[in-house]
Amino acid sequence: MDPTPSRQQPLAGIFLPLVTPFRDGALDEASLARLVAHLAASPIAGFVLAATTGEGLVLDADETERLVAVAASAAGGVPLWLGLCGSDTRKLKQRLDASARWPIAGHLVACPYYSRPSQEGLRQHFAALARDASKPLLLYNIPYRTAVNLANDTLLRLAELPAVIGIKDCCADAAQSLDLLRRRPAGFAVLTGEDALFHTALTQGADGGILASAQTDPAAFVALREAVLAGDLAGALERWSGLVDLVRLLFAEPNPAPIKHWLWRSGLIASPELRLPMTGVSAALAGRLDRLLWARRAAA
């Protein structure tokens, strides 16, 4: 993929919101490099770093910069997007400016959390970020985390700005998502972030997904999307039937604990460690994940 995406080359495909490996309280660079190299060998469209799944809120600035540097060295040219969130527009602009020099394709920027701005406040917030952005912006609408919903009318006004090239849609409202897919302008990417709704989103016209669960088997998620694009809806549904139980299990407890457990058991990261306030999976879920992992390995 071109490292500077635009409306002329809209985003599409499977993007992986990468976990951030920790060990003994520190960034585990060896596990990070191993994981990125492994996943980059699959036909994915890109990585998203330091977002929700990457525990971005508990990374300091130096760790985030190092995370990007290590991932870039291991990614083999697969584009990297940096997740950013915050409720202070001025501070977020500073973070956009500071990270613009890093080896990233663009930024994934979530709606402001906790402050619950109006639609006009959301419009002005993102417009201020986009006005001086030197990298493309993907907006991130996830109201069940931020407590504010970016309405389609507001989003479509923002989509007129050249720097705003798409959205990660986690609005959790099927009618709103379908309305957006019907009304979006040409070249504006809609990527679902709802893993459990991936198949539905594709059949309705979404361009792909930013899917935490796809880290467990990226090729399978890519193959599902390719089946939909080829018009093989029966084949796509069959592929989804083979994935949906895994997806549900990976979100049975707060993300990214189950996915980190799976990647640890798979030998891709050295530890399932998280930073507080996140904690590891329960013993019951660990057992269920292990049994499913062994079963999938035995069937392979």
Residues tagged active-site: 140, 168
- Say which residues have a Cβ less than 8 Å from residue 231's Cβ, sequence separation at least 6: none
**Contact (Cβ atoms closer than 8 angstroms) between residue 108 and residue 163:** no
Q: Which of 184, 296, 208 is nearest to 250 (CA)?
A: 296
Q: Tell me, what amino acid is at 188?
A: F
What's 51-70 look like in SS3? CCCCCHHHCCHHHHHHHHHH
Burial category of 114 from C-beta neighbours within 10 Å (exposed 0-12, middle 13-18, buried 19 and up): exposed
Helix (H, G, I), strand (E, B) or coil at 13: strand
